[in-house]
Amino acid sequence: MPMTSQRMTSQRTTSQRTTSPPATSRPPESRPGEVSIAIYSDIICPWCYLGKRRLEEGLRLAGIADASIAWLPYELNPAMPEEGMDRTAYLDGKFGPGKRAEIEQRLSEAAREDGLAFNWHAVRRTPNTRKAHVLIALAAGHGAADLAKGALMAAYFEQGRDIGAFEVLADIGAGVGLSSAELKAAFADPALNGEISHLEAQAATMGVQGVPFFIVNNRYGVSGAQPAAMWAEVLPRMMAEPASAD
């Protein structure tokens, strides 16, 4: 599946740390022996949190110390009010009373196997995630998109913080080198918000119907929070082939 053009800067990353990104408008094309991965996901998607952790572990198991990662926006609830909603009311309305607890238990069991812990009791609101995606895009320019993504997900799923609130976003942004003034300007930037909307529309055009969705070496589409062992098995084979030039 060809990767479409996008401004969000890619970055070199491992499961442990990130470094400065190359100055490019799209993930660099990979040569044999290298890997680039573009990932559509939403911050409040629990399977995306698991998918991120499993990919990182898969890279470690495969001995891949240097991978080019680009985080792409996908809003599960694009019509969510800017102030968000009470999470229990929202999910009970979406899945029906009682179903939410069943889903949370299943997710918690899966998370424990990967060393994650969802703190469902602390998560009180379902936020609008547009500003969080803007923060990640801004952090990419500082080589910190992966760090920002992880911090936002941990803040939401483990600390129960409202990642739609400016003060929370400003605190997380400060942790990856972004000032409040930078964030305010980015949140109000119609061009940047337009690019995020464009990328989300491209996901729909490519047939992405759920997240996480991984595009490896501009060629292979992988859907879902795949096990680390799967990544460890298939990534070396994918790396042996050049990325598509399309």
Query: What is the per-residue pLDDT across 119-152, written as a single tens digit (0 to 9) for each?
Result: 999 999 999 999 999 999 999 999 999 999 999 9
DSSP the chain: -PPPP--SPPEEE-SS-B-PPPS-SSPPPPPTT--EEEEEE-TT-HHHHHHHHHHHHHHHHTT---EEEEEEE--S-TTS-TT-EEHHHHHHHHH-TTHHHHHHHHHHHHHHHTT----GGG--EE---HHHHHHHHHHHTTT-HHHHHHHHHHHHHTT---TTSHHHHHHHHHHTT--HHHHHHHHT-HHHHHHHHHHHHHHHHTT--SS-EEEETTTEEEES---HHHHHHHHHHHHTSPPP--
Q: Identify the CATH homologous superfamily for domain 11-239.
A: Glutaredoxin (3.40.30.10)
Q: What is the pTM of this model?
A: 0.86
Query: What is the per-residue pLDDT across 153-187, written as a single tens digit (0 to 9) for each?
Result: 999 999 999 999 999 999 999 999 999 999 999 99
Boundaries of every domain in the chain: 11-239
